[in-house]
């Protein structure tokens, strides 16, 4: 199993914070993205996600807000 990390940088029209982003993804992972998205708040490495069955695991420790309207999220996924 090969676990790959990926990042996504984006701009939005409203003000955001690291906490707002992580909370939004956590809520989604517990509702309409259940079993598709998981959210980790711990500082882990790729090997730690080997037995997670979700399609992607958002790494909340790597979420970053560059300005109040630019954010970056990072996720791990199984490449196989």
Question: Any residues with CB less than 8 A from the CB of 73 and at least 6 apart, and which?
Answer: 7, 8, 21, 25, 58, 62, 63
CATH code of the domain containing 19: 3.30.360.10
Mean confidence (pLDDT) of the chain: 87
CA angle 78/59/66 to nearest 5° reads 130
What domain count does the chain have? 1
Judging by beta carbons within 10 Å of its beta carbon (0-12, 13-18, 19+), is residue 13 exposed, middle or buried? exposed
> For position 2, what pLDDT does the model report?
63
| pLDDT tier for residue 21 given thresholds of 50, 70 and 90 | very high
| pLDDT tier for residue 53 given thresholds of 50, 70 and 90 | confident
If you ran DSSP here, which 8-state letter would residue 32 be given?
A: T
Lowest pLDDT segment from 4-8, 24-28, 42-46, 66-70: 42-46
Structural domain boundaries, residue 11: 3-78
Residue 32 has pLDDT above 70, yes or no: yes
């Amino acid at each position: 199993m090969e676990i790959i990390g990926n990042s996504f940088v984006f701009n939005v029209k409203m003000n955001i914070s690291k906490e707002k982003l992580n909370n939004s993804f956590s809520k989604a992972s517990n509702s309409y993205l259940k079993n598709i998205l998981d959210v980790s708040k711990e500082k882990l490495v790729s090997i730690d996600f080997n037995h997670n069955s979700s399609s992607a695991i958002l790494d909340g420790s790597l979420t970053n807000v560059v300005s109040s309207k630019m954010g970056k999220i990072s996720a791990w996924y199984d490449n196989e």
